[in-house]
Amino acid sequence: MTTAGAVARARATTVSASETLPWLVSALLVGLVLYYFIGIDEGAVSVFGDTSYIHELVHDARHFLGFPCH
């Protein structure tokens, strides 16, 4: 595949935002929720109250990914 050909093919398949909005919005939401649960929940704030199961389970990853943890 040549670069010019690949660019042309990409141009021909540009996605219009309006028809695909549901997919983009759900991907954004699911991505943010996952990011929140792995990085932040049961630390500074918690949606399940005073449990810390998720925090403890992903504890090492949280440190290693750069999220504040203790």
Partner 1 sequence: MEARSFVLRGALAGAVAGVVAWLFALVFAEPQVEAAIGYEEGRGAAEEALATAAGAAPAGGAEEEIVSRGIQSTLGIGIGMVGIGIALGLLFAVAYTLLHGRVALRPRVLALVVAGAGFLTIYATPFVKYPASPPAVGSDETIGDRTALYLVMVVGSLVFLAAAVFVARLVRERLGTWNAVLVGGVVYLALSAILMTVLPGLGELTINVVENGPRVTETPLPLRDASGAILYPGFDADVLYDFRVASFAAQALLWGVLGLVFGGLVERRLARGESAERTAETTSA
Per CB under 8 A, residues contacting partner 1 are 1, 3, 6-7, 9-15, 17, 19-20, 23-24, 26-28, 30-32, 34-35, 37-40, 43-45, 52-53, 56-70
Name the one residue in this structure whose structure tokens are 């990853």.
61
Cα angle: 21, vertex 24, 29; to 5 degrees: 120
Query: Which residue type is seen at 6?
Result: A
Residue 47 or 68: which CB sits closer to partner 1?
68
What's the gap between Cα 65 and its chain centre? Answer: 13
Shortest Å distance, C-beta 23 to partner 1: 4
The 3-state DSSP class for residue 14 equals coil
Shortest Å distance, C-beta 48 to partner 1: 13
